[in-house]
Structure formats: structure tokens, C-alpha cells
Amino acid sequence: MDMDLISIGLMVALIILASAVHKYVDRRTKGSIPSEAEERLMDRMNELERRLTDIQDVMLTIDDKLN
């Protein structure tokens, strides 16, 4: 009796896992076109990353000059 419940539970968990993997792969391979808001957000994130890199370069230069 207990083994039957455990095997049914494992089968249900396996089906849920397979469904989640299928959804994940489907979303990753769909190649959806980003919306305008997503594009603006990505542009802003890229700009922030560029600025942080610039600041890091300046800090490293200052550190080198102080040592």
C-alpha cells in the first residue's frame, strides 16, 4: 500500500518536472520579438553597465597612482 502511494507520487512529480522542462525549452527556443519596453530597459541596462565599467576603470587608475 505504501509503495503504491510512493510510486504514484513519484510518477506525478516526474510528469510535473517533464512539463516544466518542456515549457522552459519552448520559451527559450521560441525566439520571441522583444517589446518596445523590453528594448528600452535593455538599452538602459547596457548604458548602466558601460558607466559602471568606466567608474571601475577610473577607480583602478586612481588606486594605481596612489600606490
pLDDT in tens, 20-60: 999 888 877 776 666 788 888 889 999 999 999 999 999 98
Cell numbers linked to 11: 510518477
Q: Which residue has the cell 586612481?
A: 62
State yes or no: pLDDT of 2 exceeds 70. Answer: no
- Rounded to 5 degrees, what angle do the CA atoms 25, 31, 36 make? 130
